[in-house]
Structure 1
Amino acid sequence: MRFFGSFLVLLLILSSPLAAQSVIGASGLGMRLEPLDAVQRALGGVGVTTRTPTVLPGNPAASLDLLAPTITFTAQPQWGTYVVGSENGDFFATRFPVLGFAYPLSTNGVITLTAGSQFDQNWSVVSRGTVDVHGESVGYTDRFLSDGAVTAIQAGWARRLSTVFAVGATVGVYSGGLKRNFFRVFDGETADSVAVENPIETTTVLGRWNHSGLLASLNLLWDPSPFLQLGATMEWGGTLKVNPVRGFQDLGRAVSVPLQFKVSTTAALSSTLALNAGATYADWSGLGDASVEDAGAGRVVSYGAGVEWEARNFW
């Protein structure tokens, strides 16, 4: 076994219009989640090059140095803030955990099976308003509840082509479901505190969808020296289909998830210390769905860095 500690020194993540990852929730995708383990999150959130072998969705090359079959489990709560025009607020998500399994194929190859949330769709909105009923102003309360997530299940393979080059690839499917409820409750009195003679019944609208689609990724690793590793990943998101199951039959969607490009490097500073830095890019402005694009989706660039300290090595 191997025991290590990770110490976060620097974490810089810039997401140009965050609407690309949060406000999309109103149109079926949800808040973007990156399924990473805790170490890669602390090292900048890119997850391409790794000093310590692990199991990462979309990157089977990270498992090449595992010596035995390995199972991983990572919870992924997420907190953040968003600003869209004059609107701002906070969000929180804790959805399907990151699950991973890796099985080494001799010393040069590995196969993996992973699952992790890609988009969170759990949120609620409450608002109040008034409506004119026979010349009287009657208040009402609207409550909109959304509960669901999009999970990616991926199978991967990676192999070392030489002592310095390695390649990997994954294919997978989107899965998950979404349930939305809308309630409008009318007040029992008018704005002038006069009891409504015939109370208006509560309005309820329910809808349910499931998700489907294909995705894939390609990974490249290059070790130009024993102290330096460079890596790149291209993730193809395919077309995410949001299919109505019950209600809202005219609100099915097919969204083109953009290509995502990642680059990263890991440099060994000493026998126990390593620096990791990387960046990602995706253009969410061409999703093939006008209602999503109108929400403010755009180009997203993120980058981060961190230092990993290996406290003890038992092998």
Structure 2
Amino acid sequence: MATSVWPPLPVNELKAAEDESTERELSWLLDSLQETLASLKTGLEECYALLAPIEPGSTLVLSSPRSESIKGHITRIGSRIVKGTVHLKLKTHPPLVLSLSSTDPLVLTPLSSLRTLLNQALDCVDITRWTGDRHSAPFISSQLLLLHGILLEALSLLKGNTFHTHPASTSANSSSTESSSGVDRSGGLGLGASGGRDEWTKDPPSPTSFTPALPSTLALNLDLSDSSLLLTIRVLEPTSQTPNTFTRFAALTGMTRRLEHDEMDAVFTYRGEEVRVREKVRVESSADPSLLSVGAKLGQIERVVESCRGGLGVVIGKPEGEED
């Protein structure tokens, strides 16, 4: 940033005058940031309130438009799925209707983690405003960096895991697309976990969360995806199970076709048993209004924090993109 002094000063006095001008500008900017931080706190509190477990919650539709593979609805209150019914008509499993138990709800770990991140962001704002030296540019800059990182992590949770990516238009297509595309937006994550492709095996839902109890041949996962819920159903078979003569003959002659997907050749340990994924189907729910609102608010807050960091960096002479 260039500073100029008027009227023109001798060279030996110019540097001192420029430093004084910069100090006044920095003082004004640090004071104005306190007002910005107050408004950011209000926005974060609104986001936190939108995730509160308040009835009646959000009822979301699960429907594959050109297929009967998955149909149903679920109700989210806070970070819990408290009720719902899912109709399954899979190619390799008998038809099944699952009802969620109201006494043993499913927990969406990403939403619990998101509330924790919002608490951390609120604490960061309070520390920046009241605990540290509000007139210290290095302190404010480091706090803004920390706050920005928390917000980016929160936004990534709302967007969902991107271990695999594909166009959004294919997220709830026909059964052939769902089962054989081999594309996984969520990376096959279990109830809100984040990480590798085998995360869905580490914390499976309790079979008693469903009526009838979830069969051992099925694995059900819920995750976040672009402020919606992503349901993934896997049909499992033990690796110890060998195909009978008719099954081998049908496969060799082309009477049956192997359902292709990204986990078809992988072996997983699920509930203490080595299994393969025989069929994999997923569908996105209808958009969750509360999550959409949280995403929009958090996105705006993140942009404001990024702008504040940039403005402060210019005044203190920090090169763009340099970390504290």
Give the TM-score category using the shorter length: under 0.3
Higher helix share: 2
Higher strand share: 1
Give the alignment's TM-score, normalised by structure 2.
0.22
Give the alignment's TM-score, normalised by structure 1.
0.23
